[in-house]
Amino acid sequence: MVATLAFFLAVYLYPLTRLVAWSFFSPGFTLQHYAKLFGEPAYFRAFRNTAEISVGVTLVSLVLGYPLAYLMTAVSPRVRALLVVLVLVPFWTSVLVRTFAWMIILGRRGLINQVLTHWGLIDRPLALIYNMLGVQIGMVHVLLPFMVFPLLSVMTRIDATLVAAARSLGASPRQAFLRVFLPLSLPGVSAGCVLVFLLAVGFYITPALLGGEGQVTFTTLIELVVRDLLDWSFGASLSVFLLTVVGTLFVLFSTLLGLDRLTGQGRA
């Protein structure tokens, strides 16, 4: 374990602290990068885009993921195993492959536009990617399993006899669900939402490929600043800012909700 710790300190913590150092120097000590970050409206727009995308993706994932996880707990173990595999295979498929698949489906000459034009439903191709819609579709696809698995792990631990007891005491199925099952599943809801939200905030591949010029997010802004403007100090301060936001939320929620729920069932 000491070896692992040494490795993590050298290749993980050290570079992150270097990043903090870079963000304050240019070459002397300065706060100019942070002033720029909070001063320019263009950078504020990236911040707003990121927030909008992340909140949207989290809510859609919850709306799609909750019924699916609920169904998984209500079927026989055999059927459940099949449903889990149908979530696991896309989950473990390369994010790049999946994003590329969405480009084929949603593109100007993509599948949906081809089909709709063929049927004569539209004259001109619909704009489905390089906009907010495309980014959100692609990101929900990647992040949805991160909602389903925490939900599933909490729901399978809910004692089914409690719901049965509520029913035998005269509760309708709807009442039994709303008053007994739903409240008991809330830890899974919060864990899933936090996980999806945090991953969405730091997500780079899908916004970079499916977003247009109007959808610059925090991560694509970092790339732009570093690769095109070659402004490493400013890129470092953007990174430190992003890291601070994600880190604060992570520590806050993992102490509030319990670490194992956030990470323990995140992937495996």
Partner 1 sequence: MSPRRTPLGRRLLWATSIATLVFLCAPIVIVVVVSFNASEFIQFPPQGWSLRWYRNYFGARQWLEPTLLSLRVALVTMVLASALGTAAAIGLTRGRFRGRRALELFFVSPMIVPTIVLAIGLYLLFARFRLVGQPVVLYLAHTVVAAPLVIVIVSAALRTTDSAIELAARSLGAGYFRTLWHVTLPAIRPAVISGAAFAFLVSFDEVVLAIFLGGPATTTLPKRMWESVRYEIDPTLTAISTLLVLIPIIALAGVEAVRRAGRGVAT
Out of 43, 53, 57, 65, name the contact with partner 1 by CB under 8 A: 65
- Quick one: which segment of 32-40, 84-92, 126-134, 151-159 binds partner 1 (CB under 8 A)? 84-92
x/- contact string, 163-202, with partner 1 (CB under 8 A)? ---------xxx-----------------------xx-xx
Token representation of residue 106 = 């949603």
- Quick one: which segment of 30-38, 51-59, 111-119, 128-136 binds partner 1 (CB under 8 A)? 111-119
Q: Is 251 in the site for partner 1 (CB under 8 A)?
A: yes
Beta bridge partners of 29: 25
Q: Is 30 in the site for partner 1 (CB under 8 A)?
A: no
Q: Is 254 in the site for partner 1 (CB under 8 A)?
A: yes
- Quick one: which segment of 27-35, 128-136, 181-189, 238-246 binds partner 1 (CB under 8 A)? 238-246
Q: Is 49 in the site for partner 1 (CB under 8 A)?
A: no
Q: Is 144 in the site for partner 1 (CB under 8 A)?
A: yes
* Closer Cβ to partner 1, 146 or 187, answer by number: 146
Q: Which of 88, 39, 105 is nearest to 237 (CA)?
A: 39
Q: Is 96 in the site for partner 1 (CB under 8 A)?
A: yes
Of residues 124-143, those binding partner 1 (CB under 8 A): 141
The SS3 call for residue 260 is helix
The answer to whether the beta carbons of residues 203 and 219 sit under 8 Å apart is: yes
Q: Is 70 in the site for partner 1 (CB under 8 A)?
A: yes
3-state secondary structure 167-230: HHCCCCHHHHHHHHHHHHHHHHHHHHHHHHHHHHHCCCHHHHHHCCHHHCCHHHHHHHHHHHCC
* Closer Cβ to partner 1, 35 or 259, answer by number: 259
End-to-end CA distance of the chain: 21
Q: Cβ contacts of residue 151 below 8 Å, gap of 6+?
A: 65, 66, 69, 70, 185, 188, 189, 192
